[in-house]
Amino acid sequence: MNHAKWLVVKFATSKIGAIIVNINLVYRTCKLEYVLKQAEILTLIVQGRFKTSNFVGMFYEVYPEAYECKPGRFSSEKFTVLNNTLFMGEIPYNNMYI
């Protein structure tokens, strides 16, 4: 969603030379899994909910091992590159930086 935090993320990623891969809000778990693998996502920035979509729940459904991992210490055969998840919100979730 468009809000001030997202604008900060856009500028910060540009400054460090990172590439943003936007994931469509209507994607479901199968599409999320595909994009995470194909784009070789290193860090995923997640927001909580939008309308009927629960993005944190979708992430844990695709990557259930991440629920038990410590932030920055992901380990999975399925997602070998992904190692960080940042949450844009107020509620701290297991394994996610805020």
Could you give the CA distance from residue 20 to residue 43 in angstroms, rounded to a whole number? 10
pLDDT tens column, 42-75: 888 888 777 787 888 888 898 888 888 777 778 7
97: which strand partners?
A: 86
Average pLDDT of the segment spanning 25-29? 74
When the pLDDT of each residue in the chain is averaged and rounded to a whole number, the result is: 82
Query: Which has more pLDDT, 70 or 1?
Result: 70
Q: What is the pTM of this model?
A: 0.79
